[in-house]
Amino acid sequence: MAPAAKKILIADDEPDILEIITYNLQLHGYDVVTAKDGDQAIQKARETNPDLIILDIMMPKKNGIEVCKILRGQPAFDNTLIVFLTALNDELSHVKGLEFGADDFISKPISPKVMVSKVNAFFRRVAKPEDSKAVEVGELRIEPEEYMVYYKGVPISLAKKEFELLNYLASKPGRVFLRNEILNQIWGSEVIVGDRTIDVHIRKIRQKLGVDCITTVKGVGYKFDI
């Protein structure tokens, strides 16, 4: 199994640019989500929880800097890379952007090739070792390296999707994950599966663990809580 593809959200109001960049990033194995204005960028960022967000500065509804400011105000995006697309020599934007927590800048115009290698570079820079860190909550221990879960020391083996789902939910105990977020994270943004798929997996996890550590939040999603 390859590790899940890195997810990138690109927000730009020019459809052509959006399309070219999307195509090239997808070619290199990235999972790409697009937005055509600031509001949409914020919405999609919430829905898909990307690893990297590329924001054009000049956009309708909300400009890139406003979007960045809003996202940086939310704990969910603490570990998300945010970079700006700016016109060359736009010093003012640079200054403002850094103020609001951007991680870097990409100057326009830019070739798709350069864009891809820049994106690769971003991910190298933040290559997280924590991907494989064990989570321990109460009597429950989740060991990503072993693909195993222990409850009161008793090993419980979950199937791949079950494990990924539990591990995802347990990554932030107490926080509610929307059904959409879960779908995007575990199944990817391209895959389309039915409404009941998540429920069934949740059910299997509850069954295997014996404890109900997953709480349903009706109309919203699920959360891990013990």
**How many CB atoms within 10 Å of residue 190?**
10
| CB 192 to DNA: min, Å | 7
Residue 67 to residues 5, 37, 94, 137: CA-CA distances in angstroms? 24, 10, 15, 34
- What strands, in cross-sheet order, belong to the sheet with 81-87? 31-35, 7-11, 52-56, 81-87, 104-108
Q: Which does 129 bind (CB under 5 to 8 A by kind): its own copies, DNA, none?
A: its own copies
Residues 139-158 that bind its own copies (CB under 8 A): 143, 145-148
Q: Which two tokens stand for residue 223?
A: 């959360």
Q: Does 75 bind its own copies (CB under 8 A)?
A: yes
- For residue 4, state whether it binds its own copies (rule: CB under 8 A): no
Site string for its own copies, 175-204 (x = CB under 8 A): xx-xxx------------------------
192 binds, among DNA, its own copies, none (CB under 5 to 8 A by kind): DNA
Distance CA 16, CA 58 (A): 15
Nearest to 173 by CA among 142, 130, 208, 132: 142
* Interface ranges with DNA (CB under 7 A): 157, 159-162, 179, 187, 191-197, 199-203, 206, 216-221
Q: How far apart are the first and last CA of the chain?
A: 30
Structure tokens given for 92: 């003012």
Structure tokens at 224: 């891990």
In whole angstroms, the minimum distance from the beta carbon of 209 to DNA comes to 12
Minimum distance of DNA from residue 53's CB (angstroms):
25
Q: Binding segment for its own copies among 51-59, 88-96, 204-212, 213-221 (CB under 8 A)?
A: 213-221
Q: Contact between 136 and its own copies (CB under 8 A)? A: no
